[in-house]
């Protein structure tokens, strides 16, 4: 089982134990898969990848673990309109760059972008504060996505 950078157990061990969750082989394997890709994996994608190394890890466990990780805030779940949830690690030890998505409504291609994030962040935090006060919400997260046609699909439609 991969052990991160080799300096002690992976950083998320504490997060698990602190919540009373056990650190298991499937959980480590799934987190490992997510941490080694920048793609937007579906549950099945994760299952297939994990399955290559640990053939006895079941799809059910993948679903359960992903749900757990989302609930813990370690993973984000996205919907790109293709009727299957996509998962992405929220942050690693060094933190993954905050980004949003640009989705082609024709072919489903998804582009991560980090442009304008700083300006967005400023406006979003201001909006968040205003909304929280007005609607009495404790806001913990936000989602921004742009939709359109990518260059390859532009002409075809």
Partner DNA sequence: CCTCTTATTGAAAACGATTTCCACTATCAA
Partner DNA sequence: TTGATAGTGGAAATCGTTTTCAATAAGAGG
Footprint of a copy of itself on 26-85 (CB under 8 A) = 77, 79, 81
- Report if residue 131 touches a copy of itself, rule: CB under 8 A: yes
49 binds DNA (CB under 7 A): no
First-to-last C-alpha distance (Å) of the chain: 47
Q: How many C-beta atoms surround the C-beta of residue 129 within 10 A?
A: 11
Specify the length of the chain in residues.
157
Angle between helix 43-53 and 59-72 (nearest 10) = 120
Closest to DNA by CB, 51 vs 100, is 51
What burial letters (b/e) apply to 139-156, b meaning 16+ CB within 10 Å?
Answer: eeeeeeeeeeebeeeeee
Give the residue with the Cβ less far from DNA, 24 or 127.
Answer: 24
- Near DNA by CB under 7 A, which window of 39-47, 119-127, 128-136, 143-151? 39-47
Residues that bind a copy of itself (CB under 8 A): 77, 79, 81, 102, 104-105, 111, 113, 115-116, 119-120, 123, 126-128, 130-132, 134-151, 154
């Amino acid at each position: 089982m991969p052990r991160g950078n080799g300096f002690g157990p992976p950083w998320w061990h504490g997060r698990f134990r602190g919540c009373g969750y056990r650190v298991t082989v499937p959980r480590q394997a799934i987190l490992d898969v997510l941490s080694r890709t920048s793609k937007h994996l579906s549950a099945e994608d994760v299952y297939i990848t994990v399955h290559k190394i640990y053939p006895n890890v079941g799809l059910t466990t993948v679903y359960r673990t992903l749900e757990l990780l989302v609930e813990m805030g370690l993973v984000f779940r996205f919907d790109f309109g293709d009727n299957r949830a996509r998962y992405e690690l929220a942050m690693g030890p060094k933190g993954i760059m905050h980004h949003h998505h640009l989705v082609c409504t024709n072919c489903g291609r998804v582009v991560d972008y980090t442009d304008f994030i700083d300006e967005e962040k400023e406006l979003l935090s201001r909006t968040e504060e205003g909304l929280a006060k007005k609607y009495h919400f404790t806001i913990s997260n936000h989602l921004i996505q742009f939709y359109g046609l990518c260059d390859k699909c532009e002409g075809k439609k």
